[in-house]
Structure formats: C-alpha cells, structure tokens
Amino acid sequence: MSEVLVLGAGMVGVTTALSLQARGHDVTIIDRNAPGRETSYGNAGLIQTEAVEPYAMPLAPGSLLQIALGRGYDVKWNIPGLLSQAGAVLTYARNSLPAAHRRASKTWGKLIRQSTERHEPLVAASGADNIIRRNGYIELHRTQAKLDKARGVVERFKTEFGVESTLLDSAQLRALEPSIKVDIAGATHWSDAWNCSDPGALVAAYAALFQKNGGRILNGDAGDLHRKGAAWVADEAQAEHAVVALGPWSPMLLGRFGLKVPMVYKRGYHRHYHMDVPPQHPIADFGNSVVLSPMRRGLRIATAAELTRNPRLTPPQLRHGEEAAKELFDIGAPVEAEPWTGRRPCMPDMLPVVGRVPDQPNLWAHFGHGHQGFTLGPVTSEILADELDGGQGWAELAPGRLKR
Ligand SMILES: Cc1cc2nc3c(=O)[nH]c(=O)nc-3n(C[C@H](O)[C@H](O)[C@H](O)COP(=O)(O)OP(=O)(O)OC[C@H]3O[C@@H](n4cnc5c(N)ncnc54)[C@H](O)[C@@H]3O)c2cc1C
C-alpha cells in the first residue's frame, strides 16, 4: 500500500483515485475547484463505445481550404491561437495521415471498447444511475450521399470492432425521434453508447464515492508540486507518489519537471436552451459541427474545435449550432447569460499520456484524452493503477514517448 496524491479532480483524476483506492492505496485528491467543474463538466455527455478511431484532422484539400479561409464550423482558428501551438498542430496533421491514424486507432479502439464496462460498476456504486441513459446516440446524415457513406463506416466498425448500430431511413428516424421537425435523409443510431444528462454531477458522484470509501479531497493549488526528500508535496499534502491529472493544465506543470508536453488545445463551447419536448437521445449533427444533448438544465448545444487562446463571448460556432438546432427542434431561450467554454486536451499522436514520468521517481502522468476523456477516464485509470502496482503499462501511452 502506498500514499498517492492525485492532482486534478476531473473525470480522469477522480477515476484514477478510485482505481488506486480499490487496490488498497491511501489516496488524496487536490483540486482548486470542486470535482468535475472544468472540462469534465462542459462536454456533450457521451460515453462512447463507437468512437473506435481518434478524431483526425480533416486533411482533404476542400476541408483544408475551408478551414484556412475561416469558413465552415468544424475547426476555427485565429493567428495567436494557431501560432501558440503550431508545432503540435503540425504533428497532429501528420498523424492524421492514413497509416499513422490506423496505428493510433488500433490502440484507441481497444481503449474505447472498454468504456461502458469500466463505468458500469462506478455508476452502480455511486448511485448515479438516474443521470445515465443507455440508449446510445443518433448521428444525422442530412443527404443521401452522406447516408450511403455511413453504411460503409457502420459495416467496418461492426466487422473490425464489434460496434452495434442501426442505419435509419427518414421514417425510422422520425419514429425514434418524433421531436425532429424536418425531413432528414437518415441517421446512424449508435446503440451501444451511453450518455449522461449531467456530466459534472457524474464526476461529483464518483468523487463522493471515493470519499465514502475513505479518500480525501483537498481544495488547493497543485501548481506548486515539489519534492521534499523522497516525498511529493503539493499544497498541504504529501505522499510517496503523485499523479498529474490536470487535463489541459498538465503541460504547464510537467514542464517544470523536464517533460515538454506538446498539446493541441481544442476549445469548445456549450450553452443550454429551454425545451418543452427534448429529444430522447443526443443528436450529433456533424454536418453543422454540433452535438445537441438533452441535459437536466436543457438542450446542451456543444460545439466543435477552435484554436484560440482567448475565448469569445459570442462564438460563431455556437451561433451556427443554435441555427441548426432551431431548424431541427422547437427550442426556447438560452438558460445561461453566457456560454461555457473549455479546452479539449489533445495529444498530437491522438493517444492519451498514461504512465511513469521519465527521470522523476514516483511521478506519474495521466492526461491528454482529447475528445473522449469523459468516456475514457475509468479505462486508462486502470492502466495507470496497474503500472503503479508494478505492471507493464502500455508502451504506446507512455510519457517517455514525448522525450524522443
Ligand atoms: C465541448 C466539448 C465536448 C466534449 N464532449 C465529450 C463527450 O461527449 N464525451 C467525452 O468522452 N469527452 C468529451 N469531451 C472531452 C472531455 O470533456 C475531456 O477529455 C475530459 O473532460 C478531460 O478530463 P480531465 O479530467 O483530463 O480534465 P478536467 O476535467 O479539465 O480536469 C482537470 C482538473 O484539474 C484542475 N486543475 C487545473 N489546474 C490546477 C491547479 N493548479 N491546482 C489544482 N487543480 C487544478 C481543474 O480544476 C480540473 O478540475 C468534450 C470536450 C469539450 C470541450
């Protein structure tokens, strides 16, 4: 049994703490905020089993031109935002080429396919069943050509990864989601994924479970992490091991310990809207670069990626998403005065960083889950906890790869 400090109480930090605690370790979490109030609060709430390939950068000449000209809503950027992460973005683009992307997908697919079975016992033990729906989500295909293309994806994912889904024509979609007002060519119902109606509350429930089982959560700053003899010290706590699970803030801390972390920060926004008859499932309208998730607070419109240092008050991606949502549904006024914003912590090779930090005894890294950290927290937590207990870890995820 060891004493472990976990820095960060997002989905990744809290599930790390739970995995270590289940193995008998004495664990303390430190966060400057309450659990699940940052990136793990603001996501679209999908616990995905079908996202077997990590999110590649769109590289087709037409898509690149659109992005460069600032048209389209999938990726927006501005010069300071791009320059501040240009190296990482370029590497991400290189790794989006087919051979490298296939390599990453082999590892990614194995992780994603474990997601619901890793969440299941935590949902049960934390009493969070009331905010989990196990009915999948719906990806719209607005044209026949897109629907035809989707058939190939559905078949490939089923054969290669065992992903369950149903392709729906317009009438079947209408039957499944009567609140959609317009005719849509069709959709994919990714039926074995889950979704959560309050992502922040799920992290909070997992954190409460950790505390009920004897874990400690300290409200404090992890930024001053330092060594004192053989121990790691942060704020008022100290322990033999420390795990950095600070999501998009991880690179800042690890730089001090000799690990230069190239990260692509994909900013996203969301806002809730009042709705009398919400959809039964989250609706992914990728053609308009949004996911529309029915949440406890209303319909959450979550946007795609923006490469920018400073958030905008009226983001064009959200404005566009609102128009797309209005076309599909009768939505009411926004719930909040301003949109929420946060940054997806994306690694240029599209794989999370999980394992021992080189040259720093008993310092561990656990971050960089990109578009799917809410899904993958409990999966990679098991990998990290196993390595801390003397297991091999996964070489493809090891922090040492960043030193090469
Ligand atoms: C718009 C959007 C939609 C998304 N949709 C999905 C989705 O549907 N499904 C999915 O799986 N993923 C989704 N994601 C991605 C997912 O939200 C992230 O990958 C995940 O939340 C990352 O979790 P984390 O625990 O690593 O980071 P965070 O949740 O950000 O946690 C980091 C923690 O570190 C703390 N911290 C930082 N610095 C300090 C410090 N100095 N001292 C103390 N504490 C500190 C913060 O307070 C925070 O609690 C989405 C992301 C966005 C932005």
pLDDT tens string 110-140: 999 999 999 999 999 999 999 999 999 999 9
Give me the chain's average pLDDT, please: 96
Closest C-alpha residue for ligand 1 atom 12? 372
- Encoded amino acid at 202, one letter: L
Which two structure tokens, joined as six digits, stand for 59?
A: 């590289």
What is the Cα–Cα distance from 357 to 232, expressed in whole angstroms? Answer: 13
Q: State how far the alpha carbon of 104 is from the alpha carbons of 59, 145, 396, in Å.
A: 17, 28, 9
Dist CA 137 CA 187 (whole Å): 10
Report pLDDT for 403.
Answer: 84
Hey, which bits of 308-393 come out as E strands? 340-346, 353-356, 363-367
Over residues 168-190, the pLDDT tens digits come to 999 999 999 999 999 999 999 99
Return contacts of 173-176, CB within 8 angstroms, 24+ apart.
Answer: 173/138, 173/140, 176/138, 176/280, 176/281
pLDDT of residue 68: 83
CATH numbers and ranges of domains, the chain: 3-44+115-120+199-262+348-403 (3.50.50.60), 56-89+132-197+264-346 (3.30.9.10)
> What pLDDT was estimated at residue 72?
86
Q: Which residues line ligand 1 (CB under 6 A)?
A: 8-13, 30-33, 37-40, 42-46, 48, 221-223, 245-249, 268, 270, 302, 342, 344-345, 367, 369-375
**Least confident residue range of 33-37, 65-69, 276-280, 361-365:** 65-69
pLDDT grade, residue 64 (50/70/90)?
Answer: confident
Q: Give the full edge-to-edge strand order of the sheet including 216-219.
A: 216-219, 26-31, 3-7, 241-244, 363-367, 353-356
Q: Point out which residues pair with 290 in neighbouring strands.
A: 285, 303
Task: Band the pLDDT of 58: cuts 50, 70, 90.
Answer: confident
d(CA 241, CA 38): 24
Pocket of ligand 1, candidates 41, 139, 249: which has the most ligand atoms within 8 Å of its Cβ, to mutate?
Answer: 249
**What pLDDT, on the 0 to 100 scale, is given for residue 61?**
84
Place of tokens 């999938």: 74
**Beta carbons of 272 and 285 less than 8 angstroms apart:** no
Distance 11 CA to ligand 1 centre (A): 7
What average pLDDT does range 235-259 have in this prediction?
96
> Would the pLDDT of 385 be above 80?
yes
- At residue 59, the pLDDT reads 86
78: Cα within 13 Å, side-chain hemisphere:
10
**pLDDT for the residue 331:** 96
% pLDDT > 90, the chain: 93
β-strand pairing of 264-273 with 231-234: unpaired
Residues in the chain: 404
Question: Residue of the nearest CA to atom 52 in ligand 1?
Answer: 43
Ligand 1 mutation target, pool 12, 203, 246, 263, most atoms within 8 A of CB: 246
CB of 226 within 8 A of CB of 233? yes
Mean pLDDT of 11-33: 98
91 closest CA partner among 101, 81, 78: 101
